[in-house]
Amino acid sequence: METSDLKKTVMELLINLNTRIMGISELYKKYELINGYTRLGFLVEDLIVLINAIDNLVDECRNISIDELQEKLQFILDAMEENDPNLVSDLLIYELLPVIDMWRIELIDA
């Protein structure tokens, strides 16, 4: 896949992830935990795809930190282990979502 095509695909994925993160957060707020866990699992799978794609866009993604994403995901995992749906919801919106948005802006500016 050409770099420009891959960049376009990554941008579309980032927009999609943004919408899905907001929806999953709402599920946790409403204590619809089974659906929330399921959709969060699918989200993580797509984040792995995103990371692999970003690895292939090294020149365009110099300021994108995979470590930052891993840190946010660890916070979410910890909140899940503590059985705290409200914290999971907040971490999705106030920690993970800004990373996704920052990556999108970084790709726009690249």
* pLDDT tens sequence across 30-89: 999 999 999 999 999 999 999 999 888 877 777 888 999 999 999 999 999 999 999 999
Position 61 scores a pLDDT of 75
- Nearest to 109, CA basis, from 42, 62, 49, 47: 62
Where do we find the tokens 């995103």?
50
Domain ranges of the chain: 3-109
pTM value > 0.85: yes
